């Protein structure tokens, strides 16, 4: 790929990090912080799935993520529905960033990356989760929280889940 194909009209490298982030965990935060040096702008895109019942509202998720990165002007948080490649095009992203915890994640992400590249030309960058976060998933955090467990160790520093 030519370098010029990876840079927008203003000379910026823009990445999209899509997910439901329900809730946003230390694993997610780690992926963002590790990928950020590669890009000039980093868009965290919260996907809306009408068929799925959310644990946190879209507004809660967006506010939580914005608070975690409030001191970094390179990060923007948006919500979207539809195809990830469509929102990537809308924000000018030439890259999609995804985190991989398990071998099953890799298999799924590889297939999605190939399809996304086929239909849009957008490249996917996979970052492996750091070992200390590989056991953390939003679904585990939700389950523990529902049963009254303290989940603060799994969330970005200073983040507290509101009673949901």
- The catalytically annotated residue of 26, 41, 98, 138 is 138
State the number of CA atoms in the 13 A half-sphere of 43 facing the CB: 24
- The catalytically annotated residue of 52, 111, 135, 146 is 52
Q: Is residue 70 flagged as an active site residue? A: no
Q: How many CB atoms are closer than 10 A to CB 19?
A: 18
The Cα-based distances of 7 to 13, 32, 90, 92, 101 in angstroms read: 5, 19, 14, 9, 28
The Cα-based distances of 70 to 74, 78, 152 in angstroms read: 10, 14, 19
Q: Is residue 52 flagged as an active site residue? A: yes
- The catalytically annotated residue of 26, 28, 98, 142 is 28
- The catalytically annotated residue of 13, 101, 110, 117 is 101
Q: Is residue 28 flagged as an active site residue? A: yes
Q: Could you say which DSSP state residue 157 is in?
A: T
CB 114 within 8 A of CB 81: no
Q: Is residue 138 flagged as an active site residue? A: yes
3 state SS of 134: coil
* Residues with active-site annotation: 28, 52, 101, 138
């Amino acid at each position: 790929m030519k370098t010029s194909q990876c840079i927008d009209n203003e000379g910026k490298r823009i990445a999209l990090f899509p997910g439901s982030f329900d809730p946003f965990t230390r694993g997610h935060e780690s992926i963002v912080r590790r990928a950020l040096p590669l890009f000039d702008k980093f868009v965290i895109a919260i996907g809306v799935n009408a068929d799925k019942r959310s644990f946190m509202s879209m507004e809660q998720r967006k506010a939580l993520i914005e608070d975690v990165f409030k001191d970094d002007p390179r990060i923007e948080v948006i919500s979207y529905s539809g195809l990830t490649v469509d929102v990537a095009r809308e924000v000018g992203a030439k890259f999609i960033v995804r985190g991989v915890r398990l071998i099953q994640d890799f298999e799924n992400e590889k297939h999605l990356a190939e399809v996304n590249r086929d239909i849009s030309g957008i490249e996917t960058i996979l970052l492996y989760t750091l070992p200390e976060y590989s056991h953390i998933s939003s679904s585990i955090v939700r389950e523990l929280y529902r049963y009254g467990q303290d989940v603060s160790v799994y969330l970005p520093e200073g983040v507290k889940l509101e009673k949901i």
